[in-house]
Amino acid sequence: MVEIGIIVLLAYLLGSIPSGLIIGKLFYGKDIREHGSGNLGGTNTFRTLGKRAGIVVTLADILKGTLATALPFFFGTEMQLHELIPGVFAVIGHMYPIFANFRGGKAVATSGGVLLFYAPLMFVIMLAIFIICLYITKYVSLSSILGALAALVYSIIIWDPPLVIVVAILAIFVIYRHRANIKRIKNKTEPKIKWLGGSAKP
């Protein structure tokens, strides 16, 4: 039980590493919480610091979820603790990081990292849907929500009960964290990305 508690705590702390804040301050002299949407995730990093920083932060946030999900195997406790559980705690850490005053990202990249470890094919499908939706709509928020819902549908189709439960939880996280974006999409005030091909006009 002690090892399980340690793993869960480590997963949360791993998820709490504020990649966007670190990259912004170390290499750009900026606190991205003071720019754009004020969010610490990859989208605001792209918007505030540019493509290179955005890619690095997104990959780092994905890796947090992947490493956290692998923790039970590092500790040899995979028979006592399902690997998806520390993955969920990493996502919680990403959303509410103790190292950044509990102001974090929107759960997308780190959730993707959890799925990358546990269900790589699901991750690929979700990523493909995200990219297609992003190319068509230019809305990162909408693409993220649709990707999360696609992952939920996929988990139900293959019927892995633990995966269905965790993906449902992660999808709820993603939708909840994007509730302001949903309102802006309805009001047609949500900003569209400008760095992907096609028209970015409202």
pLDDT in tens, the chain (202 residues): 789 999 999 999 999 999 999 999 999 999 999 998 888 999 899 989 999 999 999 999 999 999 999 999 998 877 889 999 999 999 999 999 999 999 999 999 999 999 999 999 999 999 999 999 999 999 999 999 999 999 999 999 999 999 999 999 999 999 999 999 999 999 999 988 876 654 444 4
- Could you tell me the pTM of the whole model? 0.93
Q: Cβ of 63: how many Cβ atoms within 10 Å?
A: 17
Spell out a b/e string for 26-49, using b for 16 or more CB atoms within 10 Å of the CB, else e. eeeebebbeeebebbbbbbbbbbb
Residue 151 is predicted with a pLDDT of 96
Q: Is 186 exposed, middle or buried (0-12, 13-18, 19+ CB in 10 A)?
A: exposed
Residue 76 is predicted with a pLDDT of 87
Residue 79 is predicted with a pLDDT of 82
What is the three-class DSSP state of 99? Answer: helix
